[in-house]
Amino acid sequence: MSFGRKGVAGGPALTTKRAAFPAEERGRPPHPATDDLAARRAAFLAEERARPKAPEGGESWGAAGSFKGKSRGRAYLLWFFAGGVSAHRFYLGYPISGAIQASFLPINWALIVSGSLWAMATMFFGGLWILADAFVIPSLHRDANARLQQDAFRSVFA
């Protein structure tokens, strides 16, 4: 049987040489650049394992100075108890639509006091919008947290 170059037969000398090579490599002093790289890699991996991981829900990461997301439950509570003044939209970071929605309340009161029939229309459409927000809050919440997380990422890496 031949090994390596064509036509060169293996023999006891080649077998001895093959057995000595791994032992010689193990006895060789390590290269400093390779050891430094291995040590840096090990330190990096240890640091990554020690770092707290974000929960799947994306609500908050817990460590001081890290990303804190908006709570969907708090948004629903604000919608239920202060939906007329659009507190849930202000909380989730939608101040323009919140101000428009909140403006329905004083306009509606003014129309009621004046005895106008338009009060019924503004009451109906304003109430319908607030009721529809019950179904829109999950997407508003997801977008608000994505926006906050992106801003936190930008502030760290800017």
- What is the spatial distance between Cα 146 and Cα 117, in angstroms, rounded to a whole number? 42
- Nearest one of 42, 74, 46, 70 to 143, comparing CA atoms: 70
103 within a domain of the structure (yes/no): yes
> Which pLDDT belongs to residue 133?
96
Residues 27 and 78 in one domain: no
- Nearest one of 100, 98, 101, 102 to 90, comparing CA atoms: 98
The two tokens of residue 21 are 């090579």
58 within a domain of the structure (yes/no): no
Model's pTM, two decimal places?
0.57
DSSP state of 94: -
Q: Is 60 helix (H, G, I), strand (E, B) or coil?
A: strand
> Which pLDDT belongs to residue 58?
46
Number of domains within the chain: 2
> Which pLDDT belongs to residue 3?
54
Domain that holds residue 107: 72-157
Contacts of 133 (CB under 8 A, 6+ apart): 79, 83, 88, 89, 101, 140
Which value, in Å, is the radius of gyration of the alpha carbons in the chain? 34
> Which pLDDT belongs to residue 42?
79
38 within a domain of the structure (yes/no): yes
- Nearest one of 149, 144, 154, 147 to 70, comparing CA atoms: 144
Sign of CA dihedral 23, 28, 31, 36: positive
> Which pLDDT belongs to residue 152?
75
140 within a domain of the structure (yes/no): yes
Give the whole-number percent of the chain exceeding pLDDT 90. Answer: 46
Cβ atoms of residues 98 and 120 within 8 Å = no
Residues 112 and 147 in one domain: yes
> Which pLDDT belongs to residue 134?
95
pLDDT reading at 132 higher than 90: yes
Per the model's pLDDT, the better-predicted residue between 39 and 111 turns out to be 111
> Which pLDDT belongs to residue 66?
56
Per the model's pLDDT, the better-predicted residue between 44 and 80 turns out to be 80
What's the mean pLDDT when you consider all of the chain? 81
66 within a domain of the structure (yes/no): no
89 within a domain of the structure (yes/no): yes
> Which pLDDT belongs to residue 2?
53
pLDDT reading at 112 higher than 80: yes
DSSP state of 2: B
